[in-house]
């Protein structure tokens, strides 16, 4: 959780846009099972339970502490540890995980970077929930952990929720504990809409606000898509260069000196890191394209 300590800025959008963005993300989280599918508890349920166990100051952060897993999937701790040992995790976290988490922190109206006390509290809750899930909901024919790998579980027995319940309860909590998700009154929406530019004839003030924010979201997403495509092109060039240089096989490495073997291992680790990064960026690009289409459709509906 220490990688949450980073710089911040402001990301203002309307209540309607925030609600729609969160709804889309949470619908995905409610259908992703934890423990790489070996547990019937969804990521959305896990986040709600963390929220309910947290202090009032931490509840909002706890609700969104795994928000990026709709994009990345639930990466298990052993996989994360392997990625760390290969030098992959830090880059994956800084270029894939943290930008998503930061975006939703700002959309939620919470402080970025996260306060250190909040990070510590969520980590403790997370570990106890992990132990409780392992005791009550994990298929032990698929996963086996020793007692030393687990914290003390919570006493109450945990039952998995349906995807529908997880999604609905998450959205209820969001409007209770996330500062920017509390419903604003009609006067606030009207006042902001008059400042958003030229009004479109026949369109309500509420829709003017939505259109302006949707256009801003599309611009931001298109800029991100452009940067992502540039990074993917750089990775493709790096892969091509390595192909020409011939990545060493295990048999090749047996014939090398210790120094050559160390350099070869570093090259293979970098190649693995770049492959993971490429996969994540391709998924992100596909998501961005879907989001742009979604906001374009919203504008079309608002102006119809």
Length of the chain: 304
pLDDT at residue 11 is higher than 80? no
Q: What angle do CA 52, 56, 62 make, to 5 degrees?
A: 55
Residues 6+ apart with CB under 8 A from 75: 36, 69, 83
Average pLDDT over residues 260-274: 82
The Cα–Cα gap between 44 and 163 comes to: 8
Q: What angle do CA 230, 236, 237 make, to 5 degrees?
A: 95
The Cα–Cα gap between 116 and 290 comes to: 35
pLDDT at residue 265 is higher than 60? yes
Residues 6+ apart with CB under 8 A from 13: 21, 107, 213, 216, 217
Phi-psi domain of 94 (left: phi exceeds 0; alpha: psi -120 through 50; beta: other): alpha
- How far from chain centre, in Å, is Cα 24? 12
Average pLDDT over residues 160-176: 91
Average pLDDT over residues 153-174: 91
> Is the pLDDT higher at 101 or at 219?
101
Q: What angle do CA 219, 221, 226 make, to 5 degrees?
A: 95
Residue identified by tokens 């100051």 is 57
The Cα–Cα gap between 144 and 115 comes to: 34
Residue identified by tokens 């992100």 is 284
Average pLDDT over residues 195-204: 42
The pLDDT tens digits of the residues spanning 209-249 come to 677 777 877 888 888 888 888 888 888 888 888 776 677 77
Per-residue pLDDT at 50: 97
Residue identified by tokens 């260069």 is 241
Task: Please compute Rg for the chain using Cα positions.
Answer: 22
What pLDDT band is residue 304 in, cutting at 50, 70 and 90? low
Measured in degrees and rounded to the nearest 5, phi and psi for residue 138 equal -90, 140
β-partners of residue 138 are 39
> Is the pLDDT higher at 5 or at 160?
160
The pLDDT tens digits of the residues spanning 56-65 come to 999 999 999 9
| DSSP classification of residue 196 | S
pLDDT at residue 78 is higher than 80? yes
What pLDDT band is residue 253 in, cutting at 50, 70 and 90? confident
Take residue 149 and report the two structure tokens written for it: 């790998």
Residue % of the chain over a pLDDT of 90: 43
pLDDT at residue 142 is higher than 50? yes
The Cα–Cα gap between 16 and 8 comes to: 23
Per-residue pLDDT at 148: 87
Per-residue pLDDT at 186: 37
Per-residue pLDDT at 83: 92
The Cα–Cα gap between 106 and 94 comes to: 17
Average pLDDT over residues 16-45: 92
């Amino acid at each position: 959780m220490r990688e949450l300590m980073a710089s911040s800025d402001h990301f203002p959008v309307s209540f309607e846009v925030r609600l729609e963005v969160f709804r889309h993300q949470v619908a995905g989280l409610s259908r992703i099972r934890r423990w790489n599918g070996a547990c019937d508890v969804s990521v959305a349920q896990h986040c709600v339970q963390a929220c309910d166990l947290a202090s009032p100051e931490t509840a909002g952060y706890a609700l969104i502490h795994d928000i990026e897993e709709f994009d990345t999937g639930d990466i298990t701790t052993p996989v994360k540890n392997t990625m760390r040992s290969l030098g992959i995790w830090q880059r994956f976290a800084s270029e894939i995980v943290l930008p998503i988490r930061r975006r939703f922190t700002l959309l939620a109206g919470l402080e970025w970077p996260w306060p250190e006390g909040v990070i510590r509290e969520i980590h403790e809750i997370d570990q106890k929930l992990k132990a409780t899930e392992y005791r009550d909901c994990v298929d032990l024919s698929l996963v086996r952990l020793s007692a030393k790998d687990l914290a003390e579980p919570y006493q109450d027995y945990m039952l998995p929720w349906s995807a529908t319940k997880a999604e609905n309860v998450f959205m209820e909590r969001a409007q209770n504990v996330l500062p920017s998700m509390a419903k604003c009154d009609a006067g606030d929406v009207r006042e902001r809409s008059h400042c958003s530019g030229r009004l479109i004839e026949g369109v309500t003030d509420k829709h003017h606000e939505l259109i302006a924010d949707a256009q801003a979201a599309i611009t931001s997403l298109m800029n991100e898509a452009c940067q992502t495509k540039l990074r993917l092109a750089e990775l493709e060039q790096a892969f091509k260069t390595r192909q020409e240089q011939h990545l060493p096989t295990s048999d090749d490495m047996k014939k090398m000196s210790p120094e050559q073997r160390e350099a070869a291992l570093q090259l293979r680790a970098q190649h693995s890191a770049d492959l993971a990064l490429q996969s994540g960026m391709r998924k992100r690009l596909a998501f961005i394209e879907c989001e742009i289409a979604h906001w374009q459709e919203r504008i079309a509906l608002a102006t119809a």
